[in-house]
Structure 1
Amino acid sequence: MLQKKTSPLKILEISGDTGSTEVIARNLAKVWKSEGHEVEVYAPVKSRFDFKAINYLYKNRKNFDLIHAHLGRACMLAGQMGKALDIPTIATLHGFQKAKHYRYISNFTAVSAAVKKHFVAQGVPSENIQVIHNGFDPSIRTENSAYRIGHLDKNELGLKKIIGTVGTLTQIKNQKLLIEAMPLVIESFPETILLIAGEGELRCELQKQIKKLNLEKHVYLLGHINIENFYHQIDLYAQASIREGFCMPLLEAMACGVPVITTPCAGPEEFITNGKDGIILDEISPTVMSDKIIRLLENKELREKLGQQAYKNSERLTWERQAALYEKVIRKAIR
């Protein structure tokens, strides 16, 4: 929170994409602006030689106390420009990239201890990285009156048991494991459907897998959707990732009181307490995933217990709280 005795900050949030990291940048900006700070968001930086971004930074060099950068190419460009223009720069480490992309920056935050460990192993001093988990926007808890999810509406969903997942369709997100788990789930709960929100390079491969397993009436690839109502329409959320720096959709589902299941994929293990506010699998396996899904679907009391505790525990990770932690790091960097 902005303290009475501190002066307003002037911050540039700069991101290498228009996806999750831009969402994070805009959520931080939203909080800081409400507290009286001046914040601009620039996205996306298309490369370390993005002349449009370079020109923007040069023209506005006197307007910022600090540059806060997200993702490799934005951090590479911001680090170089920050040095040239004498503007302090902080990079937030979101995943398991190579440290060389951040060589022009010396102040870091990491979205999880797992990400910090990855960069320390590459030679980044531990004392230069502060772990600050991502947050969620409480407005996501407000259900929209419209029941449509992608191309589906409430009537099409009917009284089915609904499993949801959100993420780019890639090998690392591993949606194929969830699809592989579905036949076993359907044996116990024939009316169950899996909704996969997101787009990506594996769409065609996943469509073929769905067809091969005769799951066309049970698994739906929704593409890009407005997720503000997504979490309110599902019975449980499942994440099958091989590795995650954090995993925003898991936190958002928890914040909406949805029981969650995840593979042991690093980041989520830092904000989920297994068996209390979510379930973390012992291994990355479709059989283990289907067993846990079935266990939750057949036990309404357990679903409600996990969902209620998830809702309560997520309160410690609102963007307002996390922005206050970032502000401390920023003020230290600009002294």
Structure 2
Amino acid sequence: MGYKILVFNWRDIKNPEAGGAEVNFQEIFKRLVERGHQVTLVSSRHNQSFPEEEWIDGIRIIRRGNRHTFNYTVPKVYKREFTRASIDIVVDDLNKIPFYTPLYVRHPLFVMVHHLHGTSTYGDAFLPAAIYVHLMERMIPLFYRGVPFIAVSESTKSELVRMGLNAQDVRIIHNGVDHDSYTPDSSAQSREPLIVCVTRLKKYKGAHILLRAMEAVKKEIPGARLVITGRGDYEPKLRELTRNLHLNGCVEFAGFVTTKQKVDLYRRAHVVVNPSAKEGWGLTVIEANACGAPVVAADAPGLTESVLPEDTGLLYPHSDVKALSKAIIRLLKDKDLRERLAARSIQWAKDFTWQKATQEVEAFMEQVISRRTGR
């Protein structure tokens, strides 16, 4: 018999700001639905054009509140609509400001964490907002101690433990990859040297570092091109920097791309770059690897686990523009290295599937319910 699962997350998969955490949720929980479970997700309503309720991949989506105050909306929604409901387990998808669910949730509970923002918010938000988010995260051990956690990487687990949570309460379950969609095709590779960056256009994601590195790459390899996908509030600054560096002719901002378009870019790419200051795991790294693209990434939390240096890609010291440009140039010039990394990348990506992640989450969920209810 399947479980009735209630999930709280700031965003659902249709939210324009949805990222790796939302993809992770959608891929795992839609498969839990296929395995006979009932899933309800309560998320914020991005704007009035979004319906208050809809079904996506068999998951019931309920939208309440807004993106600024959703953490205050969650306790009210739970108490009003779900306290007496027939729910087997509640999932707190902790992303951004915590909901502090242990204070009011009476059902069996566990927490999923993609990554914590920590000090990265200080370069990405107004100072008062950054301080607020940082302080709210620092209070996690005070309210969540003893609650079971799932983290997507050793980096995230280590950060939780450093904050004061018990290591035995945190289980690592990696993201998967949709291997039906993300497949290699070496014949699709671009004739011209192509660099691809799939990201959200936020300052901490580091696209500005890549643009500065591109200036040196262009001098060394004049035919090189860069495609940056995604949207975000840092886009105007990035476009301005592109103009100032005289890179308009070789840099394309592709905006939002579908899965099909993203796969096409990965297949065409000679190298995929992730210059982020922090990731939960690096979902785009493994997606690129599954398509046969080697990755150059910052030696940042999460990325140091998803990239195997000199095996599936290259790491460089975060924010070091010169080191990044050297790594890109090295890969673009060394075809043998590129092909070796690409071949190993494909094999590495095969270790990560959504089916495996779903089975691990399901087993974890059963343990949480059994521990709480004795059944």
TM-score by length of 1: 0.85
Code of the aligned partner of 1:93? V
Question: Does 1:39 find its partner at 2:80?
Answer: no
Question: Does 1:28 find its partner at 2:28?
Answer: yes
Tell me, yes or no, if the aligned pair for 1:162 and 1:192 is still in contact at 8 Å. Answer: yes
Instruction: Give the corresponding residue for 1:187.
Output: 219
Tell me, yes or no, if the aligned pair for 2:141 and 2:165 is still in contact at 8 Å. Answer: no
State how far apart, in whole Å, the 2-side matches of 1:52 and 1:226 are.
34
Q: 1:10 to 1:245 in 2, by over 3 A?
A: same
Of 94, 100, 115, the match for 2:139: 100
Instruction: Give the corresponding residue for 2:150.
Output: 109
Of 102, 106, 109, the match for 1:89: 109
State how far apart, in whole Å, the 2-side matches of 1:224 and 1:56 are.
37
Code of the aligned partner of 1:96? L
Q: Structure 1 vs Structure 2: percent identity of aligned residues? A: 23
> Residues 106-185 of structure 1 correspond to what in structure 2 (within 5 A)?
106-141=147-182, 159-185=191-217
Of 243, 266, 283, the match for 2:301: 266
Structure 1 residues 130-139 or 261-270, which shifts more? 130-139
Instruction: Give the corresponding residue for 2:234.
Output: 202
Code of the aligned partner of 2:205? K
Instruction: Give the corresponding residue for 2:132.
Output: none
Tell me, yes or no, if the aligned pair for 1:269 and 1:280 is still in contact at 8 Å. Answer: yes
Tell me, yes or no, if the aligned pair for 1:11 and 1:68 is still in contact at 8 Å. Answer: yes
Tell me, yes or no, if the aligned pair for 1:68 and 1:90 is still in contact at 8 Å. Answer: yes
Instruction: Give the corresponding residue for 1:148.
Output: none
Q: Secondary structure at the match of 1:48?
A: helix
Tell me, yes or no, if the aligned pair for 1:194 and 1:219 is still in contact at 8 Å. Answer: yes
> Residues 10-89 of structure 1 correspond to what in structure 2 (within 5 A)?
10-17=4-11, 18=15, 19-20=18-19, 21-44=21-44, 46=67, 47-50=70-73, 54=77, 58-59=81-82, 62-72=85-95, 75-76=98-99, 78-82=101-105, 86-89=106-109
> Residues 304-319 of structure 1 correspond to what in structure 2 (within 5 A)?
304-319=339-354
State how far apart, in whole Å, the 2-side matches of 1:74 and 1:285 are.
30
Deviation of 1:249 after TM superposition, in Å, equals: 1.1
Instruction: Give the corresponding residue for 2:361.
Output: 326
Deviation of 1:239 after TM superposition, in Å, equals: 0.9
Structure 1 residues 225-234 or 171-180, which shifts more? 225-234
Q: Secondary structure at the match of 1:121?
A: helix
Instruction: Give the corresponding residue for 2:127.
Output: none
State how far apart, in whole Å, the 2-side matches of 1:56 and 1:158 are.
55
Instruction: Give the corresponding residue for 1:287.
Output: 322
State how far apart, in whole Å, the 1-side matches of 2:352 and 2:165 are.
26
TM-score by length of 2: 0.76
Deviation of 1:211 after TM superposition, in Å, equals: 0.5
Q: Secondary structure at the match of 2:164?
A: coil
Q: 1:8 to 1:219 in 2, by over 3 A?
A: same
Tell me, yes or no, if the aligned pair for 2:294 and 2:345 is still in contact at 8 Å. Answer: yes
Q: 1:169 to 1:320 in 2, by over 3 A?
A: same
Deviation of 1:136 after TM superposition, in Å, equals: 1.6
The answer for unaligned runs of 5 or more in structure 1 is 1-6, 145-153
Q: Secondary structure at the match of 2:281?
A: coil
Deviation of 1:262 after TM superposition, in Å, equals: 0.4
Deviation of 1:179 after TM superposition, in Å, equals: 0.3
CA RMSD of aligned residues (A): 2.6
Deviation of 1:266 after TM superposition, in Å, equals: 1.5
Tell me, yes or no, if the aligned pair for 2:91 and 2:111 is still in contact at 8 Å. Answer: yes
Deviation of 1:312 after TM superposition, in Å, equals: 0.9
The answer for unaligned runs of 5 or more in structure 2 is 45-63, 118-136, 371-375
Q: 1:217 to 1:63 in 2, by over 3 A?
A: farther
Tell me, yes or no, if the aligned pair for 1:161 and 1:235 is still in contact at 8 Å. Answer: yes
Tell me, yes or no, if the aligned pair for 1:198 and 1:223 is still in contact at 8 Å. Answer: yes
Q: 1:300 to 1:180 in 2, by over 3 A?
A: same
